Amino acid sequence: MDPLFTWTDFFVLKPAILLSLFGCGILLTDFLLKQGRWNALTALVGEGFVAVALWQHCEDVAANGQRFALGGSMAVDGFSVFFNYIFVVSAILAIIIASRYMDDEKSNRGEFYGLMLFAQAGMTVMAQGYELVTLFIGLELMALSFYVMVGFLRNELRSNEAAMKYLILGALSSGFLAYGFSIFYGISGSTNLAAIADAVAGREISDPVLLIALVTTSVGLFFKISVVPFHMWAPDAYEGAPTPITAYVSVASKAASFAMMMRIFLVPLVSVQELWMPLFGAVALLTMTLGNIAALTQNNLKRLLAYSSISHAGYILLGLAAGNETGLKGISLYILVYIFMNFGVFALISAMRREGHAAEDIDDLNGLMHRHPGYAILMLVLLLSLAGIPPMAGFYGKYFIFLGLLEAGSYLLAIAGALYVAVSAYYYFRIVRAMFLSESLEPAVIAPGLGTKIALVASAVFTLLIGLYPEPFINMATDSILLALR
């Protein structure tokens, strides 16, 4: 009989173990030492350890290819390494933005960073899981941590409301997901993705059981990636949450959910591709339509970005709707560049204050160019990237998605997606207009801490760097899908 827990198991689980240890460590030291300022630093050290562990994963994948552990329920492959790195980068950015922001909000407590790491542990399990129960546990670990973090500003009504909405709708979606998973278990007698793949391949494509399983699973995941019509929680949750958490939710949790989605739909469900591709196409189209149009009239920056992030989720979903290698490459690359552009914008928002209160309206940015030309220009880079204007990084994500759609022959989706780029440019340029064109008697006040500055500059620099020299990043995205899914 195999030993219960081998070194391979440990190796594969290492990122999640490290994250949990550091998370617990922060809770303990915060309780014992009462030295709030060390929490963020401890969390960053933890991220450093995780990065090293991921580097070992990376070496291992290069040498041995895909590796399974824990009885085939967890995997290490190019895909998991890629996404884990994405989680590390976004967690680091979120932590350094948060350290100042939470101080200002007088809520800088150890639990906050602990929860961030726990959420990330859940994400790594989602990216590495190769079995339905494992994936589900990862998802719940992430989601539960986020429910608390979204409501972390206990004295703010908005934050509480956001957490409540997020919790209720999130729990509902988990129910859908669990239901779908249970049907998969029913038709295959196993929760392992490879075994389910065999069972699904053996079934008729018109099998109603299969269809129910597929639809309920999709619905559960659609909630998590906030696509229409399951997006309603996003604007409220984004607006109410502390800004660093808004950024973290919109990037990392979405990336993790997409990773899980890709695993499920490209391993067990790949044989019924023609069943879910049109579904995803339709949902993506609806999402882009609603996200872009609703964003047009928003005055609150965080709400605007919530809708913009909904529409970005639509674009990313188009990559799955294309269903070919180019489209999948597009998803990886899109998520990679999305970290930087989104975090950069949120870093700036988190630094916006007016008389000690967080200022979050577009008008609060009026005249930024006068007072802080440097920030205004960095922000311009990020917004152009979000709009997908070359040579910014955001363009390449759309490039691959459109190319994938054209290769798959989905011309109408490609045209719709392309035209929505112009629509989205309108609302991104409302922000640009406020910064550069509007005169304000009381110009915007931005007071970033050192961490926020680093996050903002690093995000903008990466956005521009990936845009001007995308080669290594495209190769990374290519590697991420080559080893894993087919």
Partner 1 sequence: MKEHILSIVWLTPLVGMFILLLLPKENKQLIRIVANLAAFAGFLVSLPLVFWFDNSIADYQFVERVSWIPALGVEYYLGIDGISLLLIMLTTVVGFLSILSSWTAIEERVKEYYAFFLFLQAGMLGVFMALDLFLFYVFWEIMLVPMYFIIGIWGHARRLYAAIKFFLYTLAGSVLMLLAMLALYFKHAEQFGVYTFAIEDLMRTQVPLDMQIWLFWGFFIAFAIKVPMFPLHTWLPDAHTEAPTAGSVILAGVLLKMGLYGLVRFSIPLLPEAASDATTVQIIAVLSIIAIVYGALVSLMQKNWKKLIAYSSVSHLGFCTLGIIALNPNGIAGGILQGLNHGLSTPLLFLVIGIVYEQRHALEIADYGGLANRMPIYTTIFLISILASMGMPGLNGFIGEFTILRGAFERDVTWAAFAVLGIVLGAAYLLWLFQRTMLGPMTNPKNEILRDLNLREICVMAPLVLWCFWIGLYPKQHFAVLEKPVARIVERVDPEYYSRNGIPNPLTDGVRVASLVQD
Chain-centre distance of CA 342, in angstroms?
10
Burial class (CB within 10 angstroms; exposed 0-12, middle 13-18, buried 19+) of 189: exposed
State the number of CA atoms in the 13 A half-sphere of 265 facing the CB.
31
Q: How far is the CB of 425 from partner 1 (least distance, A)?
A: 5
Query: Which residue's CB is nearer to partner 1, number 91 or number 382?
Result: 382
Which stretch in 35-43, 102-110, 295-303, 403-411 sits in contact with partner 1 by CB under 8 A? 403-411
Task: Kindly tell me which of 357 and 433 has the beta carbon lying closer to partner 1.
Answer: 433
Q: Smallest gap, in angstroms, from Cβ of residue 374 to partner 1?
A: 10
Tell me how far apart the alpha carbons of residues 34 and 46 are, in angstroms, rounded to a whole number. 19
Residue from 93, 163, 317, 369 touching partner 1 (CB under 8 A): that is: 369
The DSSP element (H or E) to which 357 belongs, if any, is: strand 357-358
- Closer to partner 1 by CB, 26 or 405: give it: 405
The DSSP element (H or E) to which 358 belongs, if any, is: strand 357-358
Closer to partner 1 by CB, 282 or 415: give it.
415
Written as one string, the DSSP assignment of 65-106 is --EEETTTTEEESHHHHHHHHHHHHHHHHHHHHHHHHHHHTT
Number of residues that bind partner 1 (CB under 8 A): 29
* Minimum distance, C-beta of residue 52 to partner 1, in the bound complex (Å): 28
Q: By CB under 8 A, name the one of 403, 454, 461, 465 that touches partner 1.
A: 403
Site for partner 1 in 120-149 (CB under 8 A): none
* Cβ 429 to partner 1 shortest distance, Å: 6
* Residues forming a β-bridge with 368: none
Largest CA distance in the chain: 76
In this chain, which stretch among 112-120, 147-155, 208-216, 463-471 interacts with partner 1, using CB under 8 A?
463-471
Cβ 469 to partner 1, closest distance in Å? Answer: 8
x/- mask, partner 1, residues 174-193, rule CB under 8 A, reads --------------------
* Binding region for partner 1 (CB under 8 A) out of 35-43, 77-85, 113-121, 469-477: 469-477
Q: x/- contact string, 413-432, with partner 1 (CB under 8 A)?
A: -xx--xx-xx--xx--x---
> Cα 417 to the chain's mean position, in Å?
20
- CA 359 distance to own-chain centroid: 24
Window of 262-270, 276-284, 344-352, 470-478 that interacts with partner 1 by CB under 8 A: 470-478
Closer CB to partner 1, residue 445 or residue 474?
474
φ/ψ of residue 438, rounded to 5: -80, 140
DSSP state of 232: T
> Count of alpha carbons within 13 Å of 109, Cβ hemisphere only?
10
CB of 350 to partner 1, least distance (A): 26
129 by DSSP, 3-state: which? strand
Tell me if 334 contacts partner 1 by CB under 8 A: no
What is the rounded CA–CA span in Å between residue 122 and residue 256?
A: 9
- Distance between CA 473 and CA 151 in Å, rounded? 35
Q: From the list 407, 445, 461, 465, which residue makes contact with partner 1 (rule: CB under 8 A)?
A: 407
Q: How far is the CB of 452 from partner 1 (least distance, A)?
A: 23
Task: Tokens for 423, please give them.
Answer: 């629509």
Instruction: List the interface residues with partner 1, window 436-455 (CB under 8 A).
Output: 436-437
Q: Closer to partner 1 at the Cβ: 156 or 407? A: 407
Contact 455, 347 (CB under 8 A): yes
Nearer to partner 1, 214 or 365 (CB): 365
Let me know if 154 is exposed, middle or buried by CB neighbors in 10 A (0-12, 13-18, 19+).
exposed
Least distance in angstroms from the C-beta of 421 to partner 1: 5
- Helices 132-150 and 254-266, axial angle in degrees (round to 10): 160
Amino acid at residue number 243: T
Shortest distance, position 392 Cβ to partner 1, whole Å: 9
CA dist., res. 320 & res. 3, Å (int): 39
For the bound state, the minimum distance from the C-beta of residue 368 to partner 1, rounded and expressed in Å, comes to 13
Instruction: Render the burial of 398-408: b for 16+ CB within 10 Å, e for the rest.
Output: bbbbbbbbeeb
Q: What is the DSSP letter of 5?
A: S
- What distance, in Å, lies between the first and last C-alpha atoms of the chain? 31
Q: Which is nearer to partner 1, 221 or 365 (CB)?
A: 365
Determine how many CB atoms are found less than 10 A away from the CB of residue 65.
11
Q: Please choose, out of 109-117, 122-130, 300-308, 406-414, the segment that lies near partner 1 by the rule CB under 8 A.
A: 406-414
State the minimum distance, in angstroms, from the CB of residue 445 to partner 1.
20
CB of 336 to partner 1, least distance (A): 14
- Positions 379 through 398 that interact with partner 1 (CB under 8 A): 380, 384, 389-391
By CB under 8 A, name the binding residues for partner 1.
369, 380, 384, 389-391, 399, 402-403, 406-407, 414-415, 418-419, 421-422, 425-426, 429, 433, 436-437, 469-471, 474-475, 478
